[in-house]
Structure 1
Amino acid sequence: MDRSIRISQRFSLYWFIYCILLLVALQACQSSSKNDTQARQADLLELQPRSVKFLWREEQFMEEYDATVSTIMLDEAYVDSISDPEKAALGYVATFIGNECAWDGKATASRSNLKCKILTALNLGYQCSDTHLGFLRKWFRDDKAVLKKLESCPTIPDGATSQETFDRIDLTVADGKIAIAYEVTGINTREGKQWTWKATDLFIYQNNGLKLVKAEKSDPVITDFEWDVP
Structure 2
Amino acid sequence: MKQILIIYALIFLIFCGKMTPKIDQGTGEAKRQEIELNEVNLTDTTVNFLWRDLKYDSIQNQTSSTIFLNEEYIKSITPQEKAALGYVATFIGNECRWDGKANEDRSNLDCKIISALGLGYQCSENHLGFLRKWFATDEQVLSKLEACPTIPNTATVQNTFDEIVIATKGNSISVYFKASGVNLREEESWNWSETVYFSATTDNLNLVKKDRSEVSREKFEMSE
Equivalent AA in structure 2 for residue 221 of structure 1: S
Secondary structure of the 2:165 match is strand
Q: Which residue of structure 2 lines up, in the alignment, with residue 40 of structure 1?
A: 38
Superposed displacement of residue 211, structure 1: 0.4
Deviations 1:172-209 (A, max 9, x none): 00121000000001000000000001100000003620
Q: Does 1:110 align with 2:108?
A: no
Q: Does 1:69 align with 2:69?
A: no
TM-score by length of 1: 0.82
Q: 1:175 to 1:66 in 2, by over 3 A?
A: same
Equivalent-residue separation in structure 1 for 2:52 and 2:216 (angstroms): 20
Q: Which residue of structure 1 lines up, in the alignment, with residue 78 of structure 2?
A: 83
Equivalent AA in structure 1 for residue 37 of structure 2: A
Equivalent-residue separation in structure 1 for 2:106 and 2:31 (angstroms): 47
Equivalent-residue separation in structure 2 for 1:103 and 1:151 (angstroms): 21
Q: Which residue of structure 1 lines up, in the alignment, with residue 205 of structure 2?
A: 210
Equivalent AA in structure 1 for residue 38 of structure 2: R
Superposed displacement of residue 49, structure 1: 1.1
Equivalent AA in structure 2 for residue 76 of structure 1: E
Q: Which residue of structure 2 lines up, in the alignment, with residue 133 of structure 1?
A: 128
Deviations 1:52-72 (A, max 9, x none): 000000101012321101000
Q: What is the percentage of aligned positions where both structures have the same residue?
A: 48
Q: Within 5 Å, which residues of 2 pair with 1:11-50?
A: 36=34, 39-41=37-39, 44-45=40-41, 47-50=42-45
Equivalent-residue separation in structure 2 for 1:146 and 1:38 (angstroms): 25
Equivalent-residue separation in structure 2 for 1:95 and 1:69 (angstroms): 23
Equivalent-residue separation in structure 2 for 1:172 and 1:186 (angstroms): 25
Q: Which residue of structure 2 lines up, in the alignment, with residue 222 of structure 1?
A: 217
The runs of 4+ residues in structure 1 deviating greater than 6 Å are 32-35
Q: Within 5 Å, which residues of 2 pair with 1:2-17?
A: none
1:158 to 153, 162, 166: 153
Superposed displacement of residue 227, structure 1: 1.9
Q: Which residue of structure 2 lines up, in the alignment, with residue 175 of structure 1?
A: 170
| Count of residue pairs the alignment pairs up | 200
Superposed displacement of residue 228, structure 1: 2.3
Q: 1:34 to 1:162 in 2, by over 3 A?
A: closer
Q: Does 1:189 align with 2:214?
A: no
Superposed displacement of residue 33, structure 1: 7.5
Greater Cα offset, 220-229 or 134-143: 220-229
Equivalent AA in structure 2 for residue 39 of structure 1: L
Q: Which residue of structure 2 lines up, in the alignment, with residue 146 of structure 1?
A: 141
Equivalent AA in structure 1 for residue 189 of structure 2: Q
Higher share of residues assigned helix: 1
Q: Which runs of 5+ in 2 are unaligned?
A: 1-26
Q: Which runs of 5+ in 1 are unaligned?
A: 1-28
Equivalent-residue separation in structure 2 for 1:164 and 1:154 (angstroms): 12
Secondary structure of the 2:43 match is coil
Equivalent-residue separation in structure 2 for 1:81 and 1:36 (angstroms): 27
